[in-house]
Structure 1
Amino acid sequence: MSTRALRGLSAAIVPLIVILAARAWLVEPFTVSSDSMEPAIDEGSVVLLYKLAAPSGLVRRGAVVAFADPEDGNTAIKRVIALEGQVVAIRDAELYVDGQHIREPSIDHSRIDATYFGPMTVPAGMIFVLGDNRGVSIDSRDYGAVPSAAVRGIVMIGLH
């Protein structure tokens, strides 16, 4: 093989390796297969998951995260509502964290009024997650808090 051919081959292979490495360790596209995060993320939307956020401690309250669903291990996407040690409650569809009412303008409370949950203290090493479309979402109200270690990434692109 000639030097020119080797250069051409390496020019094609190196970017491919960089793209595959970035997908494996940095970002990953993910197609949302549920309507549980509407209106923030529509079913069928493609979002980008920032994978380095999970181990680096960037998971914060309000972030939208992808994690291993405790029921089937598939990737689920939900909003982080509370972190370890915080107390979560829902009273007549209104969210409270540590006794403070949390304003959620994107949540249609009229579709979920008369909804009650908790109070529940989030255990150590866990996060409490809810879907924005609370009327249809299966989330921490159903399967409990999720281990922080189960977070696969933070949704960075695809929110509207």
Structure 2
Amino acid sequence: MTARARRRVAVLAVLAGVVVLVRTTLVVPVRIESVSMLPTLAAEDVVLTTRTPPRVTDLDRGDLVVFRSPEDGRRTIKRVVGVPLDVVVILDGLLHVNGRPVVEPYADASLLPGYYSRTVTVPDEHVFVLGDNRGNSVDSRDYGPVGVDDLTGRVLLRVWPPGTRTPPDGPDRDGPG
């Protein structure tokens, strides 16, 4: 084997080692299984998520989180719309947090005309999560706020397919104060 071929093999081995190290310690690819996050994420999209669970103090409204569904234990991705002590309600299909309507360009309010949800105050160490596809999502409206101990990661970015859909953090990441 020539010196040039040995260098190529060495470079490939190092790159493979880096990929394995990153995947086993930092991030994990996740394939989206449902349409509950449309238009942001579609079924069969692949996202990279953190391998470590986020602390509730590190989460912002608009973050996409990974957790085990309280309904069936499956890995689930939803958008954080309420953090501890937020008061959350949906009125006429429009999300309100702490008494103020939230602009959500990633969610279609017309899918839930006249929809009203109960008012929820998010407990300490919990987050209130919703799917962007509000008409086709099982989320905190159904099973209540998700405990921070149930969170398994945070979505970092969509890696497949490349495209122009709204990025995971959405354009109005911070929402109301």
TM-score (norm. length: structure 1): 0.85
Task: Tell me which moved more, 103-112 or 17-26.
Answer: 17-26
| Counterpart Cα distance in 1 of 2:139 and 2:85 | 18
Report the residue type matching 1:91 in the other structure.
L
Per-residue CA deviation, residues 70-115 of structure 1 (Å, 9 max, x unaligned), is 1222110000000111110100101111111111122211111111
**Residue equivalent to 2:129:** 129
Q: Secondary structure of 1:107's match?
A: coil
**Residue equivalent to 2:71:** 71
Q: RMSD of aligned C-alpha atoms?
A: 2.3
Report the residue type matching 1:38 in the other structure.
L
Q: Is the 8 A contact 1:80 1:130 kept in 2?
A: yes
Report the residue type matching 2:93 in the other structure.
A
Q: Is the 8 A contact 1:53 1:59 kept in 2?
A: no
| Counterpart Cα distance in 1 of 2:13 and 2:57 | 33
Q: Is the 8 A contact 1:47 1:157 kept in 2?
A: yes
**Residue equivalent to 1:149:** 149
Identity %: 38
Q: Note the C-alpha offset of 1:15.
A: 5.1
**Residue equivalent to 2:110:** 110
Higher strand share goes to which structure?
1
| Counterpart Cα distance in 1 of 2:56 and 2:132 | 25
Report the residue type matching 1:110 in the other structure.
S
Q: Note the C-alpha offset of 1:56.
A: 8.1
Q: Note the C-alpha offset of 1:53.
A: 5.9
Q: Note the C-alpha offset of 1:19.
A: 2.9
Q: Is the 8 A contact 1:31 1:47 kept in 2?
A: yes
